Amino acid sequence: MITETLSLPVGRQRSVIPGFGITLGLTLTWLSVIVLLPLSALFIKTSEISLERFIAIVTSTRTLHALQVSFGLSLAAAVLNLIFGTIVVWALVRYDFPFRRVVDAIIDIPFALPTAVAGIALTSLYAENGWVGSLLAPLGIKVAFTQLGILVALIFIGLPFVVRTVQPVLADLDAELEEAAASLGASRWETIRRVVLPAILPALLTGFALAFARAVGEYGSVIFIAGNLPGQTEIAPLLIVIRLEEFRYADATAIACVMLLASFTLLLLINRLQRWSEMRGTGA
Amino acid sequence: MSSTSHSALPQALASEGLPAHVEVRPLRHPGPTNTEPKAVRIAIITLALAFLALCIALPVVSVFYEAFKRGWLAYVTALAEPDALSAIRLTLLVAAISVIANVTFGLIAAWAIAKFEFPGRSLLITLIDLPFSVSPVVAGLVYVLLFGSQGLFAAYLQAWDIKIIFALPGIVLATLFVTFPFVARELIPLMQEQGTAEEEAAVSLGASGLSTFFRVTLPNVKWALLYGVLLCNARAMGEFGAVSVVSGHVRGLTNTMPLHIEILYNEYQFVASFAVASLLALLALVTLVAKTLLEARLAEDAS
Q: What is the pLDDT of residues B253-269, one digit of tens each?
A: 899 999 999 999 999 99
pLDDT in tens, A72-131: 999 999 999 999 999 999 999 999 999 998 999 999 999 999 999 999 999 999 999 999
For residue A113, which residues of chain B lie inside 8 Å, CB to CB?
A: 59-60, 238, 280-281, 284
Q: Pick from B108, B133, B234: which is nearest to A26 by CB? A: B108
**Region B21-30: what's the mean pLDDT?**
46
pLDDT for the residue numbered A9: 46
CB contact under 8 A, A132 and B54: yes
- Given a contact cutoff of 8 angstroms between Cβ atoms, the answer to whether A276 and A202 are in contact is yes
A contact residues 16-75, partner B, Cβ 8 Å cutoff: 16-20, 23-24, 26-28, 30-31, 34-39, 41-42, 44-45
User: To the nearest whole percent, how much of chain B has pLDDT over 70?
Assistant: 88
- Please report the ipTM that was assigned to this predicted complex: 0.88
d(CA A153, CA A148): 9
Residues A232, A142: contact at Cβ < 8 Å?
no
Is the pLDDT reported for residue B68 higher than 50? Answer: yes
Question: pLDDT tier at B299 (50, 70, 90 boundaries)?
Answer: confident
Q: Could you tell me if residue A20 is inside a domain? A: no
Instruction: Say yes or no to pLDDT of A189 above 50.
Output: yes
pLDDT of residue B22 exceeding 80, the answer is no
Q: Do B117 and A37 touch (CB under 8 A)?
A: no
Res. B31: pLDDT tops 50: no
Cβ neighbours of B141 in A, within 8 Å: 42, 240, 244, 252-253, 256
A6 is a domain residue: no
Could you tell me if B5 lies within 8 Å of chain A, comparing CB atoms?
yes
Write down the pLDDT at residue A14.
57
Average pLDDT, chain B: 88
Would you say B59 and A156 are in contact if contact means Cβ atoms under 8 Å apart? yes
Sign of the C-alpha dihedral computed for residues B227, B230, B236 and B239 taken in this order: negative
pLDDT greater than 60 at residue B27: no
Q: Are B99 and B232 in contact (CB under 8 A)?
A: yes
Mean pLDDT of B155-175: 93
Given a cut of 70, whether residue A219 has pLDDT beyond it is yes
Residue A180 in any domain: the answer is yes
Percent share of chain A, pLDDT over 90: 77
Contacts of B116 by beta carbon, 8 Å cutoff, 6+ apart: A12, A15, A17, A20, A24
The answer to whether B270 contacts chain A (CB < 8 Å) is: yes
- Which residue type is seen at A283? G
pLDDT band of residue B271 (cuts 50, 70, 90) is: very high
- Check residue A284 and give its pLDDT: 43
Say which residue, A187 or A93, is predicted with more confidence: A93
Domain that holds residue A61: 51-282
User: Who among A15, A18, A219 is closest to B240 (CB)?
Assistant: A219
pLDDT band at A202 (very low <50, low <70, confident <90, very high): very high
Closest partner CB to A35 (pick from B51, B112, B180): B180
CB–CB contact B62 A121 (8 Å): yes
pLDDT, tens digit (0-9, with 9 covering 90-100), for B217-241: 999 999 999 999 999 999 999 999 9
Query: How many domains does chain A fold into?
Result: 1
Would A39 be classed as within a structural domain? Answer: no
Question: What pLDDT does residue B298 have?
Answer: 81
Q: What's the mean per-residue pLDDT of chain A?
A: 91
- B9 pLDDT band, cuts 50/70/90, is very low
* Most distant pair of Cα atoms in chain A: their distance: 74
Query: Is residue A107 assigned to a domain?
Result: yes
Asked if A224 has any chain B CB less than 8 Å from its own CB, the reply is yes
Range 186-225 of B in CB contact (< 8 A) with A? 192-197, 199-200, 203-204, 208-209, 212-213
Q: Which residues of B touch A131 (CB under 8 A)?
A: 58, 62
Question: Which comes out higher in pLDDT, residue A24 or B13?
Answer: A24
The beta-carbon neighbor of A17 closest among B115, B239, B281 is B115
8 Å CB contact between B244 and B139: no
Contact B59 A118 (CB under 8 A): yes
The answer to whether residue A68 scores a pLDDT higher than 50 is: yes
The enclosing domain of A59 has a CATH number of 1.10.3720.10
Confidence of residue A276 (pLDDT cuts 50, 70, 90): confident
In this prediction, residue A213 carries a pLDDT of 95
Does residue A17 form part of some domain?
A: no
Put simply, whether A256 touches B (Cβ < 8 Å) is yes
Q: What does the DSSP assignment read for chain A?
A: --HHHHHS---TTT-----HHHHHHHHHHHHIIIIIHHHHHHHHHHHTS-HHHHHHHHTSHHHHHHHHHHHHHHHHHHHHHHHHHHHHHHHHHH---TTHHHHHHHTTHHHHS-HHHHHHHHHHHHSTTSTTHHHHGGGT---TTSHHHHHHHHHHHHHHHHHHHHHHHHHHS-HHHHHHHHHTT--HHHHIIIIIHHHHHHHHHHHHHHHHHHHHH--HHHHHHH---TTTT--HHHHHHHHHHTT-HHHHHHHHHHHHHHHHHHHHHHHHHHHHHHHHHHH-
- Is pLDDT of B202 > 60? yes
Is A35 part of a structural domain of the chain?
Answer: no
Q: Which amino acid type is present at position B64?
A: F
A250, part of any domain:
yes
A184 touches chain B (CB under 8 A): no
Rounded to whole angstroms, how far apart are CA atoms B253 and A225?
A: 27
Q: What is the pLDDT of residues A132-159, one digit of tens each?
A: 999 999 999 999 999 999 999 999 999 9
| pLDDT for residue B63 | 97
CB–CB of A224 and B265 under 8 A? yes
How many Å lie between the alpha carbon of B275 and the closest alpha carbon of chain A? 10
| Top mean-pLDDT range of B159-168, B187-196, B274-283 | B274-283
Nearest chain B Cα distance for residue A250, angstroms: 10
**Contact between A87 and B27 using a beta-carbon 8 Å cutoff:** no
Query: What is the chain A residue with the closest CA to B108?
Result: A23
